[in-house]
Structure 1
Amino acid sequence: MCLFVRSVSMEDIKRLKEEYETVFNGTQDSMFLVEVLGPDRFRYIRANSAYHRETGVTEKQLQGKTPQEVWGEDLGKRVEENYKNCVESRDVYVYEEMFPAPVDRPLWHSVLTPVIRNGEVEYLVGSSRNITEQRKHQEEAEYLSFHDPLTGLYNRRFFEEELSRLDTGRNLPLTFVMIDVNGLKLANDAFGHDAGDKILIRIANAIKGECRSDDIIARTGGDEFVLLLPNTDPKAAETLVKRIRNKIENDTSGTMPLSAAIGWETKHKIDESMIELMKKAEDNMYRCKLTENANLRNNTLGIIIRALFDKNDREERHAESVGVLSAALAKAVGLSETTVSDMEIIGRVHDIGKISIDDRILEKPDRLDPDEWREIKRHAEIGYRILSAVSEYAPIANLVLQHHERWDGEGYPGNLKEHEISDEARIIAIVDAYDAMTTDKPYQPAMTKEEAIRELRNNAGSQFDPAYVEVFIKSVCGNEMEAI
């Protein structure tokens, strides 16, 4: 058998070297070659372009130098320790290290591969990758898996894991506290979810400010917080709850008042059911909520009305006028005294949903475009949600919802027609339109009373209840207008 050995030309060697250099310097990982001079003596041979770029160390500063000569004594010794570990293991060695760079101290993931000849480790081939951003994202993901992103408190997942961990004899007495934010939905409906988020953050800060470092505080639901208090008896728990309640109620960092219902229960014996304990705490919290929520909602509604009038003084004058004229029309058409009395209230709050409409739309100096008109039409439904949340105002919420329905069924939001619309809403529709027409607006001067009455008659039977229009003109606007 004959073997033919192909000779390697200088051109082949040159091409192979060029290919090696292309791969060596083209990789994004930082690569370096270290010569092993002894058990704890090392010298850099060379490194690739990525290494020089990432570390800021030039070829001249690196080549032929020891780690301590390149990195200084302290860091150099730590680097040499990793190199020694690879030599001793005689195997691939993987580690992470903080290492200097031109602008910061990034985290590196490094791999050392020993090159063994004649039974001895002669070289170490190193490869390092900057994993700072990767680790940052990993840590952020881990943080979010156990924390509520809004408040920074622990989340339900973490709480449930800690519940199992802390439910041991050494943590007795163990107290569970449940906190439910009052009026959050009302604030969300009136001012938007950003306002609701600010309330949750203020509540969370109040709780954190009063708890110990080893207490577990978690937000487990939209408006629900829980505490796990190891080695806390009922007396200590009551003291803590009082401090938290005072901190919440005395918070003045926002426009909305804060309130929360709080219930708690303490476990004294290891065989007591944690589920039963939590159920008792929840029952106590709901009992507290029943006594506190009504006053808060009334106060919040007052703040919402005041906020609407403060941001647009025309709204206050309009609300008062609609209330007075609506009561007069209700009386004139023969509705009950109770309804007549209610009409002033309905008139005053009929546009409360405008609190959630952008000021730029409410104050726009010319006519609304279709998108803006769709936005402002939402105020009837928003007003309904706000009033429905307050027990004293819930009976009139549906009347406010209907005040832009039309006699011909072309109104909103329910396309109700004729007597499907409540008496009160049909009255508000007439008075609301009349007052709007006789009031100056940014985009249109006020009509005279005569012009406004003519408009009411023109739209009677289409937009308005025709019988109520005639009663309004004759009995409320004055008999002298009848001939117009």
Structure 2
Amino acid sequence: MIIILLSSNVKSQTINEMIDLIDKHGAMIFLINQENGEIIYANEAAVNFYSYPEEELLAMNISDINILSPEEMAEKIELARSEQQNHFDFKHRLASGEIRNIEVYSYPNNFNGTPVLFSIFNDVTARVKAEANNRRIRTYLYISFGLIILILLVFSILFYRKNRKLKSIKNELENFNKLYQTFIDANDNLIYLKDNKMNYLFVNEAAAEFYNKSKKEIIGKNDYQISNREFANLRRLTDDKVYHQLMVSSENKIIVEEVEWNDKVYKVTKFPVELLDGSYGVGAFIEDITERVEREKQIKYLLYRDSLTELYNRRFFEEEIKRLDTKRQLPISIIMADVNGLKLINDSLGHEKGDQLLIKAANLLKEVVRDEDILARQGGDEFAVLLPKTSNREAQKIVLRIKRKCRETESEEVAVSIGIGVATKTEPEQSIDQVLKEADNEMYQNKLSESRSTKSKIVQSLLNTLTAKSNETKEHAVRMTKLAFDFGEKLGLSNSQQHRLSLLATLHDIGKTTIPEEILKKPGKLTDKEWEIIKDHPERGYKIASSSQEFAVVADDIYAHHERWDGSGYPGKLKGENIPYLARIISIIDAYDVMTHKRSYKKAVPKDRALEEISDCAGSQFDPDLAAEFINLIRTE
């Protein structure tokens, strides 16, 4: 199970993205109401672990599963809410009644307008038990060393005073040593004792296995005799620290360090031990903590990295701003960057293509920025770059390199276009937040000026894609545009209406860009499922057109161009004059052109037969007045 934290000002969209990520890892996620401790959200991993039905778990308070009292729990919630403490160790009760040790990381946030604690739970019962056992072993080890010395001392006294009891005491000592050895050997951690010359006096089974030698091969030898020099030097380093501390301060302090060796991490606990001859040796307790360290690394990675682009995330960026906002780092420049046209790509080609565009933009930015710069995804389509010790002039050079890289993608299926803003802090008294805001405002202004052009290019690219998918589409649009102009003139449309009708003739089927090519070109009858996919294209076309100010004027007409006069059309089942006027016009033109030209699934019909069909459908499929005008137009040509 994985643990991740989110800062209080991360957007809710980022929360949802991170929830999706953690769900994939199977971590237990809870959203807890800051005010009353009610559980607002629990993911599938949490439901499965606690074994409550989901509805029941979501009706519970967090204190219902925590063995702390509600009052104590309220105190912990307040600590997390105020960010005085974010890491907790609790005991939780499962539905079965079993008590488990739970490690919790909890940070304040907002979710759908509700102040919550974004909390990730990790079952650490096995680890807690192991640590408790290790503590007992360490305590026993320390006591045992003392007892051995004490017993040997007593044995020496008795030897001189009561020689006749020597045999009995010796047997007892041997029995004690056997019990002691058995207990120590049962521990998975490495335990040993060295004399003042760093020769081994004692090792447990785990230590012997680590060296791949028997105990007899180790006892009486030093590290250089039983292992390679590199490892022996590493061992001797901490041994010497114990001795140095003892010689300098005469204190028997315990030294604890983390040591990496052969892709593993060990927690090394060493301490001085006074031996029978009055000299000092070194005792050690070594625990393999690789799994814990790896888990912490993964937690830290998820905490500070964006799951999609693998860049740093907003939380890391904000912490770095605070850390680097010093006089020594001046001037500090900030670049804000926003990917143009992402919503249009998501609506037209799907979120997978949108994600690919974000990854592409992230990689482009990574190529341009310097190693010392902090590049982060702020969420959604926004990126930010923190440039310490960088003047505005130098930052502008980086912006030019970004724009040059963007231009290199213009010939690709989905080009990268980025709106950019730059601001620089030059004086210590300037607010870094204000500088960030200035960069964001400049980026927004640039985005407004560039976005329209970008979206037009995307729409043209979509039309080209549709042409490639369906061979007749380009010719179909050209024919419809001519017919629309002629029919518009006959109906007396204004210049602006004529322009909209022409645009509608070009874009009415743009929603089909999301339909698989095999469906568009299928020679036979469509299945019910395929037909439902086809019927979805007016809504998709509406979303595409709505995302661009230039094409939004025909979005409603695109949505309604398959509605019927009698209300039986799709997708909105609009009826009569509730159907937009231009949509009623284009539906007649579209039907006529489809009937009179060959398609992969049908043959073309003669012009007169097509007009008869339109006449027959007047009042049911088509506006009867417009149908009559159209028939008159075609017959008088």
| TM bucket, shorter chain | 0.7 to 0.9
Partner of 1:249: 407
3-state SS, counterpart of residue 379 of structure 2: coil
Structure 1, 425-434 or 37-46: larger mean CA deviation: 37-46
Partner of 2:235: 79
Partner of 1:179: 337
CA contact (8 A) 2:588 2:614 kept: yes
Alignment deviations for residues 351-396 of structure 1 (CA, whole Å, 9 cap, x no partner):
1111122334333444444443333333212212222233332211
Residue 446 (1) aligns with residue 608 (2): no
Distance in structure 1 (CA, Å) of the matches to 2:612 and 2:273: 100
Residue 391 (1) aligns with residue 549 (2): yes
Partner of 1:428: 586
CA contact (8 A) 1:177 1:265 kept: yes
- Distance change >3 Å, CA 37–CA 400, structure 1 → 2: same
Q: Which of residues 391, 408, 411 is equivalent to 1:233?
A: 391
**Which runs of structure 2 are paired with 1:306-455 in the superposition (5 Å)?**
306-336=464-494, 338-442=496-600, 444-449=601-606, 452-453=610-611, 455=613
Partner of 1:6: none
CA contact (8 A) 1:241 1:262 kept: yes
Q: CA RMSD in A?
A: 4.0
3-state SS, counterpart of residue 429 of structure 2: coil
Distance in structure 2 (CA, Å) of the matches to 1:435 and 1:179: 45
CA contact (8 A) 1:320 1:348 kept: yes
Partner of 1:300: 458
- Distance change >3 Å, CA 202–CA 32, structure 1 → 2: closer
- Distance change >3 Å, CA 215–CA 22, structure 1 → 2: closer
- Distance change >3 Å, CA 390–CA 58, structure 1 → 2: same
Paired residues in the alignment total: 456
CA contact (8 A) 2:239 2:282 kept: no
CA contact (8 A) 2:270 2:282 kept: no
With the length of structure 1 as denominator, give the TM-score of the two structures.
Answer: 0.78
Say which structure, 1 or 2, has more relative contact order (CA 8 Å, 6+ apart). Answer: 1
Give, as a single letter, the amino acid of the residue that structure 2 aligns with 1:469: A
Give, as a single letter, the amino acid of the residue that structure 2 aligns with 1:77: N
Partner of 2:259: 97
CA contact (8 A) 1:90 1:121 kept: no
Alignment deviations for residues 290-340 of structure 1 (CA, whole Å, 9 cap, x no partner):
332222222222112112112221322332333333444444444445434
Distance in structure 1 (CA, Å) of the matches to 2:533 and 2:201: 72
CA contact (8 A) 2:242 2:282 kept: no
CA contact (8 A) 2:500 2:553 kept: no
Partner of 2:212: 57
Question: Cα offset for 1:56?
Answer: 8.9
Distance in structure 2 (CA, Å) of the matches to 1:334 and 1:126: 94
Alignment deviations for residues 131-159 of structure 1 (CA, whole Å, 9 cap, x no partner):
2x443332132123223233333322222
Distance in structure 2 (CA, Å) of the matches to 1:341 and 1:22: 90
Partner of 2:67: none
Distance in structure 1 (CA, Å) of the matches to 2:319 and 2:437: 18
Give, as a single letter, the amino acid of the residue that structure 1 aligns with 2:234: R
Distance in structure 1 (CA, Å) of the matches to 2:410 and 2:485: 38
3-state SS, counterpart of residue 420 of structure 2: strand
- Distance change >3 Å, CA 208–CA 419, structure 1 → 2: same
Partner of 2:288: 129
Partner of 2:133: none
Q: Which of residues 319, 337, 348 is equivalent to 1:161?
A: 319
3-state SS, counterpart of residue 139 of structure 1: helix
- Distance change >3 Å, CA 456–CA 270, structure 1 → 2: same
Distance in structure 2 (CA, Å) of the matches to 1:51 and 1:375: 67
Gaps of 5+ in 2: 1-174
Distance in structure 2 (CA, Å) of the matches to 1:252 and 1:62: 70
Alignment deviations for residues 417-454 of structure 1 (CA, whole Å, 9 cap, x no partner):
11000121112223333433444444x33252366555
Structure 1, 207-216 or 176-185: larger mean CA deviation: 207-216
3-state SS, counterpart of residue 219 of structure 1: strand
Give, as a single letter, the amino acid of the residue that structure 2 aligns with 1:146: Y
Partner of 1:8: none
Give, as a single letter, the amino acid of the residue that structure 1 aligns with 2:325: D
- Distance change >3 Å, CA 175–CA 72, structure 1 → 2: closer
- Distance change >3 Å, CA 202–CA 51, structure 1 → 2: farther
- Distance change >3 Å, CA 322–CA 21, structure 1 → 2: farther
With the length of structure 2 as denominator, give the TM-score of the two structures.
Answer: 0.61
3-state SS, counterpart of residue 145 of structure 1: helix
Distance in structure 1 (CA, Å) of the matches to 2:359 and 2:624: 52
Distance in structure 2 (CA, Å) of the matches to 1:440 and 1:61: 92
Distance in structure 2 (CA, Å) of the matches to 1:415 and 1:56: 79
3-state SS, counterpart of residue 220 of structure 1: strand
Q: Which of residues 367, 371, 374 is equivalent to 1:209?
A: 367
- Distance change >3 Å, CA 323–CA 136, structure 1 → 2: farther
- Distance change >3 Å, CA 162–CA 420, structure 1 → 2: same
CA contact (8 A) 1:192 1:356 kept: yes
Give, as a single letter, the amino acid of the residue that structure 1 aligns with 2:463: I
Residue 471 (1) aligns with residue 616 (2): no
3-state SS, counterpart of residue 313 of structure 1: coil
Distance in structure 1 (CA, Å) of the matches to 2:211 and 2:595: 74
